[in-house]
Amino acid sequence: MAKTASSPPLLKKAPTGITGLDEITNGGVPEGRPTLVCGSAGCGKSLLAIEFLIRGAIQYNEPGVLMTFEEGVEDIKKNVASLGFNVDELIAKKKLIIDYVHIERSEIEENGEYDLEGLFIRLGYAIDQIKAKRVVLDTIETLFSGLTNQAILRSELRRLFGWLKERGMTTIITGERGEGQLTRQGLEEYVSDCVILLDHRVYGQISTRRLRVVKYRGSTHGTNEYPFLIDEKGISVLPITATGMDYTVSSERVSSGIPALDEMLGGEGYFRGSTVLLSGTAGTGKSSVAAHLADAACRRGERCLYFSFEESPSQIQRNMRSIGIRLDQWTKKGLLQFHSTRPTVHGLEMHLVLMHKLISEFKPSVVIVDPISNLQSAGTLEDSSSMLIRLVDFLRKEKITGFLISLGSMGNQQESTDEGLSSMVDTWLLLRDIELGGERNRALYVLKSRGMNHSNQVREFLISSKGIKLVVPYLGAEGVLTGSARLSQEAREKATKLVLKDELRRKEMAMEHRRKAMLAQIEALQAGFKAEEEEFARMRNASQLAANTLEQDRDAMARSRK
């Protein structure tokens, strides 16, 4: 068979405008075809369908018709108004029609064979009125509940799907989930081109909503379960369950806010966009280290997002003021944002969705999670590990420096974490208590830091009113000393040095005295020697004078004798 040069036409898609859903479906739901959204009660089917309709009218200029069989028009308007959409305005602009079809089984009398032709006419009229491109039927089970002849209904339902397809309507039909099958009738999922399953599960009294694209004819799509969030802005779907590892990394370094710690990290601090894990037991100062990083980031003019699962923003800011860090100044300037909540408020997947949403909106350079160990209370250890790994991947992909705090328990092996993140993080700082001399002191060391020549020293970790100070502990014959033992040993060494210095000075002074005495003696000897030389010279001159005089006298006497 000869190959054709031209490629087959790609399936056209209608974007939903729902955050994350278009990424999962690679562009949206199939254009001009029916899509089934099914799930149990309260999972968000109607909201997803209505948001698809309204965003289509607002963002893509595609008018839509909502035919509802359960809720009245006014109820729907109120529900949608809570998401910030003005339905009345859309209706006035002929962008939207909401048609409520009241179906009450007690008011229906079946007589002979019947069909849904009346429904087609009613729906067709609404479509023609505004030249609609999108249709939502919510929900199809109500239509079934009003009539008992299931054979006719199944036939008519198949005819309805075909009719919508012939008219080129991009349609979303909501359906209740059945026992052991996606829908109660078990037909809708087969005649739909795309099937999206919503799930609202409860684990340990914590609920989580999830979305899965079960089927999508003619198109590839994400096949995993994706958590989604319903908030005041509508539905947000987290489009990842695990990101790839094709992200680039930065060689830029950012300060930790503690100069001595920067020095231990090769002199320049963390790599920008890296992930840092700080683990330690309660009261070792983990949050203080995080506050230094937040303060340093804000001083650079960068944004920091602080997720706290133990303390409120006010508590954190008050506590950090006691060590000289004023975080409130950065919150007022909009550079620092806190998000404090108990882990059990949401399921883990919901926490992850919320974190993604807040990070995407605030666009921070630094994200702090304090502590990650509390997330286990919202699920299992495996679930929290999986959630944190996806968070780390997301932060790396966005080139955001992540700072994760892990709370360890006393007696546990410190050089490991319950969450299993030790091999994933780029830098791992460990804070530990050292009991010595009847007191407990803190110590910090860098367990690992990829890509840099980091220190292998254990530094004593001091918290003062001026922040954190890292001190080199005493290393000597008595071992590693910290706290008052270090101070006592340093005092003894200082006293010994003073004694040696005093003895040296005393000997130096004695030597100076001896030197001066020696010089004085030398000077005296030189003076005596000089005097003797002068006396000898005087005597020599006198002798010479006497000899000359005697010679002259002899000459005079000789001349007098003639």
Q: Which of 98, 101, 97 is nearest to 129 (CA)?
A: 97
Q: Decide if 100 is inside a domain.
A: yes
Q: Judge whether 419 lies within some domain.
A: yes
Q: Alpha-carbon distance 460 to 426, whole Å?
A: 23
Nearest to 158 by CA among 133, 182, 192: 192
Examine the fold and report which residue of 175, 206, 237 is the final residue of a domain before the chain moves on: 237
The pLDDT value recorded for residue 352 is: 84
What does the DSSP assignment read for 210-241? Answer: EEEEEEETTS----S-EEEEEETTEEEE---S
* Average pLDDT taken over every residue of the chain: 84
d(CA 189, CA 404): 43
Calculate the CA dihedral of residues 41, 44, 46, 47 and round it to 10 degrees.
Answer: 150
Catalytic: which of 263, 268, 310, 311?
310
Whether residues 185 and 95 share a domain: the answer is yes
Which parts of the chain sit beneath pLDDT 50?
1-4
Is 502 within a domain? Answer: no
Cα–Cα distance between 286 and 171 in angstroms, integer? Answer: 53
Instruction: HSE, CB side, 13 Å, CA atoms: give it for residue 351.
Output: 29
Q: Where are the alpha helices (DSSP H) in 363-466?
A: 381-397
Length of the chain: 562
Q: Which residues of 145-169 are buried (b: 16+ CB within 10 A; e: fewer)?
A: ebbeeeeebbebbeebbebbbebeb
If asked whether residues 191 and 285 sit together in one domain, one would say: no
- pLDDT for res 109: 61
Domain end marker among 440, 472, 504: 472
CB atoms within 10 A of CB 103: 14
* Residue 379: predicted pLDDT: 72
230 and 267 belong to one structural domain: no
Tell whether 190 and 142 lie within a shared domain: yes
Q: Does residue 323 share a domain with residue 297?
A: yes
Handedness of CA 415, 420, 423, 427 (dihedral sign): negative
Tell me: the pLDDT tens digits for 161-211? 888 889 999 999 998 887 777 777 676 777 788 999 998 877 766 777 889
Please give the Cα distance from 553 to 541 (Å, whole number): 18
Asked if residue 302 and residue 397 are part of one domain, the reply reads yes
Residue appearing with tokens 């399936």: 11
For the sheet with 96-100, list strands across it: 96-100, 64-68, 134-138, 170-176, 34-39, 194-203, 206-216, 226-231, 234-237
* Residues 230, 266 within the same domain: no
Catalytic status, residue 460: no
Can you tell me the distance from the alpha carbon of 106 to that of 104, in angstroms, rounded to the nearest whole number?
6
Considering the domain architecture, whether residues 33 and 128 belong to the same structural domain is answered as yes
132 and 193 fall within a common domain: yes
What's the CA gap between 361 and 475, in Å, rounded?
49
What is the greatest pairwise CA distance in the chain?
A: 202
Around Cβ 478, how many Cβ atoms within 10 Å? 9
Q: Is residue 3 part of a domain?
A: no
Domain-terminating residue out of 472, 505, 527: 472
| Positions of E strands within 187-302 | 194-203, 206-216, 226-231, 234-237, 253-254, 270-271, 275-280
First-to-final CA distance of the chain:
172
Task: Output the domain CATH number for residue 36.
Answer: 3.40.50.300
Q: What is the DSSP string of 87-102?
A: HHHHHHTTSEEEEE--
Q: What is the pLDDT of residue 1?
A: 41
- Does some domain include residue 417? yes
Could you give the CA distance from residue 123 to residue 161 in angstroms, rounded to a whole number? 13
> Are 393 and 442 found together in one domain?
yes
pLDDT attached to residue 3: 45
d(CA 28, CA 22): 4
Cis peptide leading into residue 139 (ω within 30°): yes
% pLDDT > 70, the chain? 88
Using left for φ > 0, alpha for ψ between -120 and 50, and beta otherwise, residue 528 falls in: alpha
Judgement on whether residues 134 and 258 belong to the same structural domain of the protein: no
Token pair recorded at residue 268:
């320049």
| Distance separating alpha carbons of residues 37 and 55, to the nearest angstrom | 17
Amino acid 111: pLDDT: 61
- In-domain check, residue 546: no
Residue 449, Cβ neighbours under 10 Å: how many? Answer: 21
* pLDDT value for 2: 44
Q: How many domains does the chain have?
A: 2
Q: Does residue 117 carry a catalytic annotation? A: no
Sheet with 439-449: strands ordered across: 336-340, 304-308, 366-370, 401-407, 275-280, 427-436, 439-449, 459-464, 467-471
CB of 323 within 8 A of CB of 467? Answer: yes
Asked if the structure places residue 245 within a domain, the reply is no
Range of the domain at 118: 13-237
516-522-528 Cα angle (round to 5): 140
Confidence (pTM): 0.66
Cα–Cα distance for residue pair 370/352, rounded to 1 Å = 14
Out of 70, 225, 268, 311, pick the active-site residue.
70
Alpha carbon distance 404, 240 (integer Å): 21
Beta strands 366-370 and 304-308: pairing type? parallel
pLDDT at 434: 78
Whether residues 307 and 411 share a domain: the answer is yes
| Residue from 228, 225, 157, 163 nearest 186 by CA | 157
Q: Is residue 388 part of a domain?
A: yes
Least Cα distance to 262 among 444, 465, 483 occurs for: 444
Across 293-349, the runs of DSSP E, i.e. the strands, are: 304-308, 336-340
Contacts of 145 (CB under 8 A, 6+ apart): 103, 105
382-401 burial by CB neighbour count: b if 16+ within 10 A, else e?
ebbbbbbbbbbbbbbbbebb
